[in-house]
């Protein structure tokens, strides 16, 4: 779950990219990087840390040019401790290419072997982004065969990439002296949208909020399997590059990952969360009579719209019972369980008057390991609540996610192999209510009925791209050898605490 942005502007774009990355900071807090291009030369600065800490005035002055791209990294493959694995990545042949990507390649292990044995290309890190860059570079070289690069060859190379790469990927890349390339996997799992400014500037970004917050206008989402090429003069060309493309965006984007003020694939994230609260109300009524609830309290931030709609539907007062320390990062994207657990009480503080002597229904966006939920329920009891009920706006998370969300192994997921009653007992609440998966899908799809379906593997175990046992085994093996914060998929997969946004 990284955030990416690419810009072709009318003047210097370093500040525009910086501002866009600030608006995407919620998508990654581990590392960040910006590349700009001027006179066919790339200028790059990247490091571990948040945007405001990595880029100083001297760094910004060293990033000239009217074209560029940037990324905020939330590691799900590779080595989070290594600054070398911060994005973007660069190769000098053919043409000179820099690339950043959001997602996760599920066949990175096989591609790395192919690159070395067949394509004679070397990768120097454990990052699947470097693998993706080298596959693209190889296919561009094959498409041009030493001739001058044209748009047709770029689209042919992307088509070949789709044929080799599996998993989720939203990509922005700069080809020196040619333009900005953006493309999305054939299922559109990770988001990517296109916008334009009044001055003719063009931006591609993970979420619409990056466009609107920098005074650009959302034009449209990039379609699954589509490639968009923005030439140096701002001309936009596009082409479908996958034979069997069908939109299946990651449903967890709407549950937790995206900002509520974003619109992705024609779906307002805020409206989707309101709808989720409405469907959750039916589940609550069947478990706890509304007369036994004095107030409904969200666990900040992602659950607020669902909690508000739930309170309105049931006619129960909505209250803010937790104050969030905004100077602590999203616990969902903190590497390591000990770091996440320690941060819960640093991040949230209970308002005693909202709990003392009251029966409260806490609403969270999701429950992953259950340890954070347990801490929050105990905080409510310590503040004097006589009854603490807990509702999750998402269904039980039972399976690892392999498409760019760093979730735990199945064994670490609290809902895996346990009944709702067993989960309730562990968390320590008086009642536990989960969202229904099909009801949640209908609630979100109602915002844009044109969406074919959703990638919801962490809830139902169905991986839309298809996964072999060998792929899963290789991903687990890659995780085992990597350090905390890996970028490859599925075994250590640790959700930056979806439980406490």
Q: Render pLDDT for 372-403 as a digit per residue (tens, 0 to 9).
A: 999 999 999 999 999 999 999 999 999 988 99
What mean pLDDT is predicted for residues 271-288?
Answer: 97
What is the band of 409 on the pLDDT scale with cuts at 50, 70, 90?
Answer: confident
Kindly tell me if the per-residue pLDDT of 71 is higher than 50.
yes
Phi, psi of 429 (to 5 degrees): -90, 165
pLDDT tens, residue by residue, 155-178: 999 999 999 999 999 999 999 999
Question: How much is the pLDDT for 38?
Answer: 97
Question: How much is the pLDDT for 80?
Answer: 56
What is the band of 489 on the pLDDT scale with cuts at 50, 70, 90?
Answer: very low
What mean pLDDT is predicted for residues 404-415?
Answer: 84
Q: Provide the edge-to-edge strand list for the sheet that holds 217-221.
A: 41-48, 31-38, 67-73, 3-8, 202-205, 193-196, 217-221
Upstream peptide bond of 406 is cis (omega within 30 degrees of 0): no
Kindly tell me if the per-residue pLDDT of 195 is higher than 50.
yes
Q: Which of 2, 193, 429, 458 is catalytic?
A: 2
What is the band of 239 on the pLDDT scale with cuts at 50, 70, 90?
Answer: very high
In angstroms, rounded to a whole number, what is the distance separating the alpha carbons of residues 71 and 3? 6
What mean pLDDT is predicted for residues 45-67?
Answer: 97
Determine which of 111-120, 166-175, 409-418, 425-434 has the lowest per-residue pLDDT on average: 409-418
- Residue that wins the pLDDT comparison between 216 and 452: 216
CA 397 to centroid of chain Cα atoms? 16
Phi, psi of 182 (to 5 degrees): -135, 140
Question: How much is the pLDDT for 480?
Answer: 46
- Beta-carbon contacts of residue 289 (< 8 Å; ≥ 6 apart): none
Pairing of strands 387-392, 236-240: unpaired
Question: How much is the pLDDT for 33?
Answer: 98
pLDDT above 90: percentage of residues in the chain: 82
Which tokens belong to 299? 């666990």
Question: How much is the pLDDT for 14?
Answer: 98
- Residue that wins the pLDDT comparison between 233 and 424: 424
What mean pLDDT is predicted for residues 128-140?
Answer: 97
What is the band of 484 on the pLDDT scale with cuts at 50, 70, 90?
Answer: very low
Determine which of 42-46, 75-79, 266-270, 344-348 has the lowest per-residue pLDDT on average: 75-79
Question: How much is the pLDDT for 323?
Answer: 94
What mean pLDDT is predicted for residues 138-161?
Answer: 95
Kindly tell me if the per-residue pLDDT of 343 is higher than 90.
no
What mean pLDDT is predicted for residues 84-96?
Answer: 93
Q: Give the pTM.
A: 0.90
What mean pLDDT is predicted for residues 108-125?
Answer: 95
In DSSP terms, 196 is beta-bridged to 202, 217
Average pLDDT over the chain, rounded to whole? 90
Query: Please, what is the angle between helix 108-117 and helix 128-144, to 10°?
Result: 50
Q: Are 260 and 277 in contact (CB under 8 A)?
A: no
pLDDT tens, residue by residue, 425-474: 999 999 999 999 999 999 999 999 999 999 999 999 999 998 866 767 76
Burial readout 369-397 (b: 16 or more C-beta within 10 A, e: otherwise): bbbbbbbbbbbbbebebebbbbbbbbbbb
193 is catalytic: no
Kindly tell me if the per-residue pLDDT of 496 is higher than 60.
no
Question: How much is the pLDDT for 494?
Answer: 31
Tokens 């044109």, located at residue: 450
What mean pLDDT is predicted for residues 200-212?
Answer: 98
CA 251 to centroid of chain Cα atoms? 11
């Amino acid at each position: 779950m990284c955030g990416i942005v690419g810009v072709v502007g009318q003047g210097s774009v370093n500040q525009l990219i910086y501002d866009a990355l600030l608006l995407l900071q919620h998508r990654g807090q581990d590392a960040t990087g910006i590349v700009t291009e001027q006179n066919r030369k790339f200028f790059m600065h990247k490091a571990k840390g948040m945007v405001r800490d990595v880029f100083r005035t001297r760094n910004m002055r060293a990033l000239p040019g009217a074209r560029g791209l940037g990324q905020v990294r939330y590691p799900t493959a590779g080595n989070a401790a290594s600054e070398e694995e911060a994005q973007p990545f660069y190769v000098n042949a053919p043409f000179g290419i820099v690339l950043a990507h959001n997602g996760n390649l599920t066949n990175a292990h096989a591609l790395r072997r192919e690159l070395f044995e067949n394509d004679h290309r070397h990768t120097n890190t454990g990052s699947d982004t470097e693998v993706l860059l080298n596959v693209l570079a190889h296919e561009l070289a094959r498409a041009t065969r030493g001739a001058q690069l044209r748009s047709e060859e770029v689209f042919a190379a992307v088509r070949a990439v789709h044929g080799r790469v599996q998993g989720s990927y939203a990509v922005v890349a700069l080809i020196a002296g040619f333009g900005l390339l953006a493309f999305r996997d054939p299922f559109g799992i990770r988001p990517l949208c296109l916008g334009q400014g009044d001055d003719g500037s063009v931006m591609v970004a993970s979420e619409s909020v990056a466009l609107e917050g920098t005074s650009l206008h959302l034009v449209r989402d990039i379609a699954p399997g589509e490639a968009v090429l923005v030439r140096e003069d701002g001309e936009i060309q596009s082409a479908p590059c996958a034979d069997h493309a069908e939109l299946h965006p990651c449903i967890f984007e709407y549950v937790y990952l995206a900002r509520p003020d974003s619109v992705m694939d024609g779906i307002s994230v805020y409206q989707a969360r309101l709808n989720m609260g409405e469907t959750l109300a039916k589940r609550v009524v069947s478990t706890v009579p509304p007369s036994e609830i004095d107030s409904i309290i969200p666990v900040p931030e992602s659950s607020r719209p669902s909690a508000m709609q739930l309170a309105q539907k049931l006619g129960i007062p909505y209250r803010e019972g937790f104050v969030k320390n905004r100077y602590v990062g999203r616990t969902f994207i903190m590497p390591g369980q000990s770091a996440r657990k320690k941060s819960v009480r640093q991040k949230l503080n209970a308002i005693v008057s909202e709990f003392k002597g009251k029966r409260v229904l806490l609403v969270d966006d999701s429950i992953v390991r259950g340890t954070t939920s347990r801490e929050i329920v105990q905080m409510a009891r310590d503040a004097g609540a006589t009854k603490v009920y807990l509702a999750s706006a998402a269904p039980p998370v039972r399976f690892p996610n392999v498409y760019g969300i760093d979730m735990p192994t199945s064994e670490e997921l609290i809902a895996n192999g346990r009944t709702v009653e067993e989960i309730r007992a562990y968390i320590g609440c008086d009642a536990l209510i989960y969202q229904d998966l099909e009801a949640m899908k209908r609630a979100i799809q109602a915002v844009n009925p044109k969406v074919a379906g959703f990638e919801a593997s962490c809830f139902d175990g169905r991986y839309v791209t298809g996964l072999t046992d060998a792929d899963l085994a290789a991903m687990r093996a890659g995780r085992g050898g990597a350090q905390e914060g890996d970028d490859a998929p599925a075994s250590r997969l640790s959700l930056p605490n979806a439980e406490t946004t």
